[in-house]
Amino acid sequence: MAFCVQCGNKVADADQFCAKCGARQKVATGKFSAGPQADPFSGISGKNASLLCYIPWVGWIAAIIVLASHRFRTDAQVRFHAFQGLYIFVAWLMVEWVVSPFLFASGFLIGLPFHRAGASLLQLAVFVAWIFMLIKVSQHENYKLPIIGDLAERSVSEQRS
C-alpha cells in the first residue's frame, strides 16, 4: 500500500488520485500517469528552429521559445540565431518607436518634408536583414550581422559560463 504524495493518506497502488485531497498520484514507474510534458521543439531540427527566429515581426516569439526550450539549451548555433533574431526585432522596435518619432519631430520643427523617408529606409534595412538571414540559415550558412551578431554571440557565450 502506498501513501498520497500530497497529504500522506493511504492509497492503493493503482489509484491515480487521492480520495482525500484529490492530488494526482505517481504510478509504479515514478512518473505521473498523465506522462511528462512534451517539449514543443522535440521534433524540429536546429535549422528549422533557427529559421523560425527570423520570420519578420513574429520571429521573436519563436526566439523566446527556442531560448527557453530544453532541447536547444546546449546548441550554441541555434541559440545564436535565436538571440540574433530577437535583436533584429529590437532594432525594428527602436526604429518604430524611437527613430521614426524623432525624425518626424525634427522634420516638423525645421520644415523638412522628407522626414518619413529616413525612417522608411531604416525599416527597409531591418526587413532586408530578416530576409537575408532567412536565406543564409536556409542554405546552412552561418552569418553574423555586424552589430547585432556581436551582441548575440556575447549573449550565447555569457549563458555558457
Residue 159: pLDDT band with limits 50, 70, 90: confident
Domain positions in the chain = 1-36, 38-160
% of the chain exceeding 90 in pLDDT: 50
Residue 91's pLDDT band (boundaries 50, 70, 90)? Answer: very high
pLDDT category of residue 13 using cuts at 50, 70 and 90: confident
pTM across the whole model: 0.70
Q: Give residue for cell 525645421.
A: 110
15/7 Cα distance (integer angstroms): 14
CB 64 within 8 A of CB 86: yes
Lowest-confidence segment of 81-95, 110-124, 129-143 by average pLDDT: 110-124
Residue type, 39: D
pLDDT of residue 67: 93
- 122, 99 Cβ separation under 8 angstroms: yes
Give the tens place of pLDDT for each residue, 18-64.
888 888 887 654 444 444 456 666 678 999 999 999 999 899 999 99
- What's the pLDDT at 139? 95
Alpha carbon distance 157, 39 (integer Å):
24
